Structure 1
Amino acid sequence: MADAAVIDDFAGLVDIGGGRKMYLECRGTGSPTVVLVAGLRGSAEDWTVADKSLPSVFAEVAKFTRVCAYDRPGTPVGEKPSRSDPVSQPTTARDGVADLHFLLRAEDEPAPYVLVGHSYGGLIVRLYASTFPQDVSGLVLVDTLSEGLQDAETPAQWPIQRELIEGDVRESLLEYPALERIDVDRSFDQIRTAPRLRPMPLVVLSADRPWGPQIPSMIASGALPANVPPNFGYITDAAQKQAQEKLARLVPNAKHITETNSGHEIHKEQPQLVVDSIRQVVDAVRSGKLHLAH
């Protein structure tokens, strides 16, 4: 592989095979390469905050190692469609893993990777690490969606939760039929049957601003369907707390940061905290450690 592929900044479309191209941008130098994986309908831009007074995760990580971000199919960039070619929707975490694997290989971005996943992106990075253990040396999970959320709820509660996760996109689909949608249940089944994670440095970041008090006003404003129970945010909070604690037990000596002073989008509300967590994992990988010091 040419050295230029490792050290040059890159932003553009990459042919991943099968007649498809995906958008990727990479910056910085050094190993391990950090790969940022956004949440549902989030593009590479998700890692660059609009508030210029705050650090950008993408730009800050590029100062100490190689970093890449990309667009999954159907992830809008502002008011514009995804820069990656459309695919049949809905997709699953396994589809996300396959696309990311083909993308990194096609662009010759060398392993090992430290994978950073927000929300649904966390499901993808966990499955990637289980599927390609030799390629992944560390993980940062940013208020990640996990099967533990479903496990902590009753069969009657879960359909409401699933609707909130997937979102009501009927109107959006009229304007953008290729919009990313996911099959949450199938994705959870995929992670449940995947091999266990091997020991590696892991940081779990959990939001600490509760959903409970927010739900009634979100229902009143039309942001949530009228059939959502007004107290459902408290159900979500309790289930998510259990789910995040399970994530912190995925590998020995994982670091769980619960005081984040943030809602769900920690990488936008507290980007420096995410950057510092990534740096901890990168430093551990470089020193050959399998876990983080507490």
Structure 2
Amino acid sequence: MGMRQAAAAFVMLAGLSACEGTPPSSTLEAASPYADHWYAFSDPVVAGRYRGLTLYETERQSLGRLVLADGSALALRPVPPMPGDDLAFIVPALGMSFAAKKDGHDSWTGTLIDRAYGEASATLSPTVSAPAETVGQFAILPDGRRMHMVCSGEGAPTVILDYGAGGTVKKDWGDLAAAIAAEAKARVCAYDRAGRGLSDPAATPRDAAAVASDLDQMLTAARIAPPYVLVGHSLGSYHVRQFANSYADKTAGLVLMDPSGDGQMERFAATIPKIVEEQNKLMDAQAGLGCITKLRVNPVPPNDPLAKLCGGNDPDALDATRSEIAEMPGASTASLVASRRSYDDMPLIVLTRGDYDKGMPPSMTTDDRAAMRLVWETMHAEMAALSSRGEQRFIAGAGHYIQSDAPQAVIDAVRDVVAAARSKSP
């Protein structure tokens, strides 16, 4: 093993232990992306594969994202450098490491080792050519894990946004969070679940109860006072409903966006087995096989549909997505059913898609889609009935991603629930 390969091995090993140690004393860290913390590789061959990277400074550490040629990003983890080097980081999803020495011009020159491309000399230099990614703050849980959230606006109750399977704060909420904050005149916080985005991974399995517990600990650590209006899209609806069941005194209202329902896979299996077959073929999540395993063994380009389906090539994100989906028909549903309660007159709006062509597998026939619509709308009606103030809204022309197809419908629903929650406040 050569000197640089040995250094790379050290870097990878250091990365495995970088999250260990004593929990920090602070429970909230600000994270700021400075303009001079955007860097690009000046070497043409390397630059052709990687657009650049950014480092986010917190009170205790740096972390960041590696931006690929197509504009997508993967988690980057700075680690302690070897003696003689000033900078070292790893990108676990790519089996990549970079170790370098700083020169006199805020640049680093060293060796980059990539699982797919091998070893190359590379220089990393400052640049401001890439737009900064939205970064907010990190709440530190009692076990030391960091949970990332981005908040905007002011006003109570605070609105919490939880995306569906494979989502991210930027992809799913983008500018919508700020628009909700402006119209609802409330603070709005979108967050990354454990293992996704910039949040630290957690032990699996990741069922709805575990996610709801993380959310409660995150909000407590961030000193964001209850009650909350919780917004959940798709799988995220499992999490916010579990939170409402487990923390009734902290929940002021719910908005469920084309939500997944209790026992939906069993209902689909009884009426449209083709949907279950399609999901099993693509994900095989409960066995941890299918595309999850394929991506771990042989990562695909980030713009490949397989990578998008599984949440990218990031191993932490893959594990989180696999576990969340795997637990959905079992532990998550069981927990929801066991903790189910009447929401009395709590404000609740369920948004239901109006278009059943968007995003459907080509093998789905007209009859299949009609059967799916019946199951889907029935489940949503059941959820709306949990509150005497529950309402189901059908969003014409919108597919499953209502926040993309009809963002104003989401803004209106959140604004209305926030207003109703305020009218109930003493």
Q: Does the 8 Å contact 2:272/2:372 carry over to 1?
A: no
Quote the Cα distance in structure 2 between the aligned partners of 1:204 and 1:257.
Answer: 6
Provide the residue aligned with 2:86 in structure 1: none
156-165 or 31-40, which moves further after superposition?
A: 156-165
Partner of 2:112: none
> Structure 1: how far apart are the matches of 2:332 and 2:206?
9
C-alpha displacement at 1:107, in angstroms? Answer: 0.2
CA–CA distance in 2 between the matches of 1:98 and 1:165?
A: 28
Q: 5 Å matches for 1:246-285?
A: 246-285=382-421
| Contact kept? 1:97, 1:124, Cα under 8 Å | yes
Q: Which residue of 2 aligns with 1:20?
A: 145
Residue in structure 2 matched with residue 120 of structure 1 by the alignment: 235
Q: Does 1:177 align with 2:302?
A: no
Deviations 1:67-93 (A, max 9, x none): 101101233xxxxxx211112344111
1:19 is displaced (CA, Å) by 2.4
Q: Distance in 2 between matches of 1:147 and 1:203?
A: 17
Q: Specify the alignment match of 1:195 in structure 2.
A: 340
Maintained 8 Å contact 2:231/2:257: yes
Other-structure match for 2:176: 57
Distance, in Å, in 1 between the alignment partners of 2:277 and 2:245 is 24
CA displacement, residues 121-150 of structure 1 (integer Å, 9 cap, x when unaligned): 111111100100000011000000011524
- Paired with 1:129 and 1:57, the residues of 2 have a C-alpha distance of 23
Q: CA deviation at 1:48?
A: 3.2
Deviation at 1:235, TM superposition (A): 3.8
Residues of 2 paired with 1:95 and 1:166: CA distance?
A: 27
SS of match in other structure, 2:353 = coil
Residue 160 of structure 2 corresponds to: 35
Deviations along 1:131-185, one digit per CA (max 9) or x if unpaired, are 0000001100000001152463445856953862895232334443222222112
Specify which structure has the higher proportion of strand.
2
Q: Which has the higher contact order (CA 8 A, sep 6+)?
A: 1
User: Any idea what SS the aligned residue of 1:206 has?
Assistant: strand
Unaligned 5+ segments in structure 2 are: 1-28, 30-134, 284-290, 298-312
Query: What's the offset of the Cα at 1:44?
Result: 1.7
The number of residues matched between the two structures is 261
Distance 1:151 1:73, change over 3 A: same
Residue 219 of structure 2: which of 104, 125, 128 is its match?
104
Please list, as runs of the form range in 1=range in 2, the aligned pairs for 1:112-191 lying within 5 A after superposition.
Answer: 112-147=227-262, 149-150=264-265, 152-154=267-269, 160-161=275-276, 164=279, 167-168=282-283, 169-170=291-292, 171-174=294-297, 175-178=313-316, 179=318, 180-181=321-322, 182=324, 183-185=327-329, 186-191=331-336
1:245 is displaced (CA, Å) by 1.5
In structure 1, what residue type is equivalent to 2:146? K
SS of equivalent residue, structure 1 residue 241: helix
CA distance in 2, matches of 1:166, 1:129: 33
Aligned-pair identity (%): 30
Q: 1:53: which partner in 2?
A: none
Q: What secondary structure sits across from 1:250 in the alignment?
A: coil
Q: Partners of 1:244 and 1:195 in 2: how far apart?
A: 15
CA shift at 1:41, angstroms? 1.8
Q: 1:247 to 1:165 in 2, by over 3 A?
A: farther
Q: Distance in 1 between matches of 2:261 and 2:397?
A: 21
Opposite residue 151 of structure 2, the aligned amino acid is C
| 2:276 counterpart letter in structure 1 | Q
Q: How much has 1:253 moved relative to structure 2?
A: 2.8
Aligned position for 1:292:
none
Structure 1 residues 43-73: Cα deviation after superposition (integer angstroms, max 9, x where no partner): 2224434xxxxxx320112221111011012
Q: Secondary structure at the match of 1:278?
A: helix
- 1:229 positional shift: 8.7
Equivalent in the alignment of 1:238:
374
Question: Alpha carbons of 1:74 and 1:196: their partners in 2 closer, same or farther (altered >3 Å)?
Answer: same
Q: Report the Cα distance in structure 1 between the residues aligned to 2:419 and 2:147, rounded to whole angstroms.
A: 30
- 8 A contact 1:148–1:246 mirrored in 2: no
AA aligned opposite 2:251: V
Q: 2 CA distance for matches of 1:249 and 1:192?
A: 15
Check 1:127–1:162 CA distance in 2 against 1; reply closer, same or farther (3 A cut).
Answer: farther
Q: Could you list the per-position Cα deviations for residues 243-273 of structure 1 after superposition, in whole angstroms to 9, with x for gaps in the alignment?
A: 1121121111311111332000001111111
Is the CA contact (8 Å cut-off) linking 1:36 and 1:116 kept in structure 2?
yes
Aligned mate of 2:199, from 75, 84, 90:
84
Does the aligned pair in 1 maintain the 2:161–2:188 contact within 8 Å? yes
Separation in 2 of the partners of 1:270 and 1:264? Answer: 10
Provide the C-alpha distance between the structure 2 equivalents of 1:212 and 1:232, rounded to a whole number of angstroms: 14
Residues 6-32 of structure 1 show CA distances to partners (whole Å, capped at 9, x for unaligned) of xxxx81222112121111111111100
